[in-house]
Amino acid sequence: MSKTGISSPFIQSVDNKIRKMIPLTPETPNSRAVSASLVKLGNMPGALLPVLHDIQDTLGYIPPECVDQIGQALNLSRAEVHGVITFYPHFHTTPKGAVHIEVCRAESCQAMGSAQLEAHIRQATGCDMNSTRADGQVSVDAVYCLGLCAQSPNIMINGEPCAHVTPQVFDELYREHTEAVSV
């Protein structure tokens, strides 16, 4: 018996009936990409994180309208899926720009001048922290440790970690990445 006085099989039975009542996500390009990830990875033990990573790698973000679809396929509640997505800062629920810059704000980077670098990045990109520029081409986000503490300050640009970043180094990296995506 649970603390509520209802046996666990009963709770599970009711829970499964509730899950079956959730309508399926309408067929969209995003739902097709999510389905492909679920088919590829959904049967492995502990599939939620690999599925979420695959969806984000494919779409660039995890569409909120597909959370029910993910939960149904993995026999998880919407709250469980949403909780994992919002717990890990790596996952995004909105698209990021073609150039995505992550600026480390951990203690080591702060001690080595990340605040000044962050100000330079905001000025150079025209994008505030934790936002996407109005044209949708550049996103800048704060992160808390990229694992390169001995080489601070650090950023990640389009998934590529960069160490010992100065404003001059940033300008060169930014130029390379914007040229590569024609921002």
* Digit-coded pLDDT (tens) for 129-171: 999 999 999 999 999 889 999 999 999 999 899 999 999 999 9
DSSP 130: T
* pLDDT number for residue 155: 96
At residue 25, the pLDDT reads 53
Tokens, residue 13: 């039975």
> Which residue do the tokens 């330079």 mark?
120
H helices within 90-166, ranges in order? 107-111, 114-125
φ, ψ dihedrals at 47, nearest 5°: -70, -20
Intervals of the chain under pLDDT 70: 1-26, 183
pLDDT the model gives residue 90 = 84
